[in-house]
Structure formats: structure tokens, C-alpha cells
Amino acid sequence: MYFEDDDFLGGSPRSRFFDTIFHANRNVVEGELEKMVEWLAALEIIAEERCGIDVEREVERLLHNEERRKELENRIHSLYIEYMGQILSKSE
């Protein structure tokens, strides 16, 4: 998925996410960012315990894997949209 800054959403998922967090209710944003970090920590624990992998090494490997770059970018865009939606729905 490719996004231009002037697309129909008014920007990329990343730029819209940052616009949202900089203008939304601070308490809502803090709560959602705390949930994101908690989620990441839980995923690290699960990966280490159930898969027995070195999470940092595997993340670095994925980040630098050009064959999977598009898949990673699509997932990142989806997460920006998902978390922006969570913040907006709690800011109404």
C-alpha cells in the first residue's frame, strides 16, 4: 500500500496518526500509548517463552529483510490506522 501526503485521507497513515496524537486528549493518548507498550512487552515475553527466540535479533533481521519489506510496511500502516481509530473513538 502506497500513500501520498495529498491522498484522500489528507496524508499517510503515519502522518494522520501523529496529527491525531498531537491534537487528541492527552489522557486518552497516554492511555493508548501505555497499552501499545504493554502489548509489545507481552508479545516479547510470548515469543521468548513459547518460541525460544532472541526477540531483538529476530526483529532486527525482519526490519532489514528487503523481501518482506512490503509486508512490514502494510502491517505498520494497519497499526497506525488501528491505534488512531482507538484514540479517536475515545476522544468523542
User: Is 52 among the domain residues?
Assistant: yes
pLDDT tens digit sequence for 44-86: 999 999 999 899 999 999 999 999 999 999 999 999 999 999 9
User: Is 35 among the domain residues?
Assistant: yes
| pLDDT given for residue 91 in this prediction | 85
Average pLDDT of the segment spanning 33-49: 95
Distances in Å between the Cα of 62 and the Cα atoms of 17, 19, 51, 53, 87 are 23, 28, 16, 13, 28
Largest CA distance in the chain: 44
Average pLDDT of the segment spanning 21-41: 95
How many domains is the chain built from?
Answer: 1
User: Is 33 among the domain residues?
Assistant: yes
Cα distance between residue 15 and residue 52, in whole Å: 36
- The pTM for the full model equals 0.80
Cα distance between residue 53 and residue 59, in whole Å: 10
User: Is 1 among the domain residues?
Assistant: no
Quick check: 1 pLDDT over 50? no
Q: Which of 80, 89, 82 is nearest to 19 (CA)?
A: 80
